[in-house]
Amino acid sequence: MLGNDWGFSAYPLVAGREVVGTVTKAGPSVKRFKVGDRVGLGWHSGSCMACTQCMAGDRNLCATAEGTIVGRHGGFADKVRCNWEWATPIPEALDPASAGPLFCGGITVFNPMVQFGVRPTDRVGVVGIGRLGHMALQFLSKSGCEVVAFTSSESKRAEALKLGAHSAVSSTDTDEFKRLTGSLDFIMVTSNVTLPRDLFIGVLAPRGRLHFVGAVLEPVPVGAFSLIMGQKSVSGSPVGSPSTIARMVNFCARRSIAPIIEMFPMSRINDALERLRSGKARYRAVLENDVG
């Protein structure tokens, strides 16, 4: 959003779409919350509550849903306003500092597990061990899946195993792809780089799914024949609905799941952004408000 990579940023931009704080005011129609409650807010801050998607519970798919940082001030502001249904209670078991990244990054990788019925008996691949991937590894392994991590960084193999992967393979080694041919039920692509997609399609078992949550800007060309013969699928998904976010947060509290974070005071935001741009952040940079 800062660099308008997606083409819909509006300046001046006050960013911040992974927000944790306490309720300071609640309107007369607000349910479930009171002043002083600790809550989190992610990509969305409102939805129409009248369209087919909203009525079905898929408020994250509402065509007119309000983005927390799209045309309005987000979490870097002193106050953030949202429709109450998009605020999520944070259990006492979760550290508020590490809870913030769950509300966009975390739900981005948790949502497809719910939408496509990933089962504990499934063998699942995660492509990219970074800001999204390191959370996907924890969610999947603690859900009971056998998890294979794909990474182009040799230094991240050991970390992937520590985070819950049962094995870690090189995403550039065709021999390792051959060994895995036809073995994975679901592959989640969390990176935003161009991949050898037909190789990953070949790793899928019959009825397997190659799923994208990383915002790759290039087209995703896949040979139709490679999908047809094994009844395989290619798909993508955004963040989740309020009910799915709540399920994720409670799952994290029960299973002690948390993102790996680096803390910065808000007054050093430029340092935090520079660390992100350099690719050195491990893995989410969290800002603590010291200027309000």
**Structure-model confidence comparison of residues 222 and 73, the more confident one:** 73
For 98-145, the pLDDT digits (tens) are 999 999 999 999 999 999 999 999 999 999 999 999 999 999 999 999
Provide the token pair at 181: 């041919």
Beta bridge partners of 151: 170
Mean pLDDT for all residues in the chain: 94
H or E element that contains 278: helix 269-278
Confidence of residue 36 (pLDDT cuts 50, 70, 90): very high
DSSP reduced 3-state for 290: coil
Task: Report pLDDT for 216.
Answer: 77
Average pLDDT over residues 145-157: 92
Q: Is the predicted pLDDT of residue 292 greater than 70, yes or no?
A: no
For 247-287, the pLDDT digits (tens) are 999 999 999 999 999 999 999 999 999 998 888 888 999 99
| Nearest alpha carbon to residue 43 among 25, 24, 8, 19 | 19
Average pLDDT over residues 137-155: 95
- Give the per-residue SS3 of 29-87: CCCCCCCCCEEEECCEEECCCCCHHHHCCCHHHCCCCEECCCCCCCCCCCCCCCCHHHC
CB 82 within 8 A of CB 118: no
Task: Report pLDDT for 220.
Answer: 73
Q: Residue 19 — φ and ψ, nearest 5°?
A: -120, 135
Q: Is the predicted pLDDT of residue 235 greater than 90, yes or no?
A: yes
For 176-234, the pLDDT digits (tens) are 999 999 999 999 999 988 788 889 999 999 999 999 999 877 777 788 898 999 999 99
- Give the per-residue SS3 of 113-152: HHHCCCCCCCEEEEECCCCCHHHHHHHHHCCCCEEEEEEC
180/63 Cα distance (integer angstroms): 39
Question: What's this model's pTM, rounded to 2 decimal places?
Answer: 0.94
